[in-house]
């Protein structure tokens, strides 16, 4: 992509989401109790919170790299919506503190942003194709 072309909206949404996931992952890996305290959650000395941080960090890197791949973007809409559903379910079942649902809300908002951006990108691509076809006519 040349510097004169803008990044597709869906790719931009994925890049912002990837930045968020890398940031949360790094915080959980390096200073998990700081992040937990910011959200009113109990501190922990369990290694699993750092393992989750490492996984999140890596997933964020993958998301950053994959941001221009349509199939990844489409799949991410569904998987991020699923995060919201599962985390909200944990809270509703009394298995987790309500603040955990906030992470799901962020995922859901990112999913909606990417879904809408994919639609706008598709419309723009369709308009461009129509314009090129019209310009090619004698």
pTM metric for this prediction: 0.81
Return the pLDDT at 46.
Answer: 96
Over residues 98-110, mean pLDDT: 94
pLDDT band (50, 70, 90) for residue 40: confident
Per-residue pLDDT tens over the stretch 9-32:
999 999 999 999 999 999 999 999
Q: What is the overall mean pLDDT for the chain? A: 89
The token pair that represents 37 in the structure block: 């305290």
| pLDDT at residue 56 is higher than 50 | yes
Domain boundaries, the chain: 9-136
- Tell which residue, 10, 120, 126, 124, has the closest CA to residue 74: 10
Residue 42: exposure state from Cβ atoms within 10 A (0-12, 13-18, ≥19)? exposed
Q: What is the DSSP letter of 69?
A: -
| pLDDT at residue 41 is higher than 50 | yes
Give the Cα separation of 31 and 56 in Å (integer): 14
């Amino acid at each position: 992509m040349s510097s004169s072309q803008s990044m597709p909206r869906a790719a931009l949404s994925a890049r912002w989401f990837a930045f968020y996931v890398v940031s949360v992952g790094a915080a959980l890996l390096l200073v998990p109790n700081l992040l937990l305290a910011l959200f009113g959650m109990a501190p922990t000395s369990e290694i699993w919170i750092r393992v989750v941080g490492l996984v999140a960090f890596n997933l964020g890197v993958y998301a950053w790299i994959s941001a221009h791949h349509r199939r990844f973007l489409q799949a991410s809409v569904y998987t991020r919506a699923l995060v919201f559903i599962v985390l909200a379910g944990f809270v509703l079942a009394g298995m987790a503190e309500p603040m955990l649902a906030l992470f799901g809300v962020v995922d859901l908002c990112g999913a909606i942003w990417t879904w809408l951006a994919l639609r706008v990108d598709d419309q723009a691509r369709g308009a461009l194709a129509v314009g090129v076809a019209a310009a090619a006519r004698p």
